[in-house]
Amino acid sequence: AKDAGKNQVTVYAPELAAARDRRIRLIADLRRALANEEFTVHYQPVVELDTGRVTAVEALVRWTPPGQPPIPPMDFIPAAEESGLIGQLGTWVLRRSLRDVGDWYERYGISVTVNVSGRQLREPGIADLILAELAANRLPGSALVVEITETVLVAETGPEEAAARAILERLREHGVRIAVDDFGTGYSSLAYLRTLPVDILKIDRAFVQESGGEADPVAFLRAMVQMARSLHLSTVAEAVETPAQATRLRQLHCPLAQGYHFSRPVPADELDALLSTGEGR
Ligand code: C2E
Ligand code: CA
Ligand code: CA
Ligand code: CA
């Protein structure tokens, strides 16, 4: 038994060390990538279901190290958060997005939706930074939507919660809207909706793409859309992939949607082309 215990240690320790080394290398690579501007932002249209009009675009970061295929955000955002680099990366994404949206906002009234992680929301001066970037680009607050996840809101308690709330309220006073991402996947969704400064719910893909296992997949969607409406919140359905999903959402009076059915996230120049083709529609 003693030998087995010893074996376990010698088997697992190198794996743990290897995982830790990989993480350390990833963080060093991220630092270099920030310095070298290896990031880009792709934009995915948010569409009004009744008219097909694009009302907003979600900014989604991409990392392409030289000579390598792009690394998906899920493979580096957690390390960026853990290392604190998310502040710098998030600021870069915000700047890029606000610079890109200027023209789309002016010509088509399109706003940009930027993902802000919990750690980023706790960076000192985050509200000032966001407002200063809007001003630098001569944009009103209504050109920006700040997207936060449910877990960010729920995890905060006491002074932390009050601080997060004050930041969101300050942004809202300037016309910035707040969206809750992945709505329906956290646990005290209803409790915080009662009190938190929020404008938009983004219904998680789990409720949009039925897996077939649910008793009544439509019931959840309908309930969420109706609840949002009675709270005077807007709803965006995420990851709409099929015409059937889009039709059903429209029948349920969900106002907005995004997903591959409408468009994948695309580089800024492709979005330009896409928007000018639809001009005057
Ligand atoms: P998210 O905020 O939930 O973003 C939506 C994700 O769903 C994106 O993945 C998007 O490409 C993907 N998607 C869009 N339409 C469809 C569809 O019809 N079907 C399916 N299956 N997927 C669809 P992506 O770009 O890989 O981003 C993954 C996550 O990384 C995001 O999830 C977000 O949490 C995070 N992320 C991306 N950019 C940023 C950023 O600038 N800052 C922060 N903090 N997080 C970011
Ligand atoms: Ca999002
Ligand atoms: Ca989401
Ligand atoms: Ca997500």
Reported as a single tens digit per residue, the pLDDT across 150-171 is 777 766 667 777 888 899 999 9
Per the listing, tokens 């992945």 go with 182
Tell me the C-alpha distance between 31 and 100, whole Å.
24
Q: Quick one: which atom of ligand 1 is closest to the CA of 120?
A: 44
Task: Give the DSSP H or E segment for 30.
Answer: helix 2-36
What confidence tier does 11 reach under pLDDT thresholds 50, 70, 90? low
pTM over 0.90: yes
Instruction: Give φ, ψ of 257 to 5 degrees.
Output: -155, 160
Are 94 and 130 in contact by the 8 Å Cβ rule? The answer is yes
What is the Å distance from ligand 4's center to 202 Cα?
10
Q: Pocket of ligand 1, candidates 39, 47, 60, 148: which has the most ligand atoms within 8 Å of its Cβ, to mutate?
A: 60
Who contacts 49 (Cβ-Cβ below 8 Å, separation ≥6)? 246, 249, 250, 254, 255, 256, 257
Nearest residue to 201 via CA among 242, 175, 230: 230
Residue from 41, 71, 113, 115 whose mutation best tests the ligand 1 pocket (most atoms within 8 A of CB): 115
pLDDT tens readout for residues 34-70: 999 999 999 999 999 999 999 999 999 999 999 999 9
